[in-house]
Structure 1
Amino acid sequence: MKKRVLIIENDRDIRMIVEIILNEQGFETLSLPEPEDLAEIIPFSPDIILLDEFINNKPGHRLCRKIKQVTALASVPVIILSTANDIEMIATECNANDFIRKPFDVEDMIAKVLRLVDHRPLVC
Structure 2
Amino acid sequence: MARILIVDDDQTIGIMIQDILEFKGHNVVVTQQPATTKDQILQHDIELVLLDKLISGVDGTDVCSELRKDERFKDLPIIMMSALHNVDEICREAGATEFLSKPFDMDTLIAAIDSIVNGESQN
Check whether TM > 0.5: yes
Give the RMSD, CA atoms, in angstroms. Answer: 1.5
Q: Distance in 2 between matches of 1:69 and 1:103?
A: 29
Contact 2:34-2:63 within 8 A present in 1 as well: no
What runs of 5+ residues in structure 2 fail to find an aligned partner?
none
Q: Distance in 2 between matches of 1:40 and 1:19?
A: 15
Shift of 1:35: 3.8
Aligned length: 119
Q: Distance in 1 between matches of 2:35 and 2:48?
A: 19
Contact 2:34-2:58 within 8 A present in 1 as well: no
Normalised TM-score (structure 1): 0.89
What runs of 5+ residues in structure 1 fail to find an aligned partner?
none
Residue identity opposite 1:11 in structure 2: D
DSSP 3-state at the match of 1:36: helix
Shift of 1:40: 3.9
| Structure 1 moving runs of 4+ over 3 Å | none
Identity within the alignment, %: 25
Of 37-46 and 7-16, deviating more is 37-46
The 5 Å alignment of 1:36-47 reads 36-37=35-36, 38-47=38-47
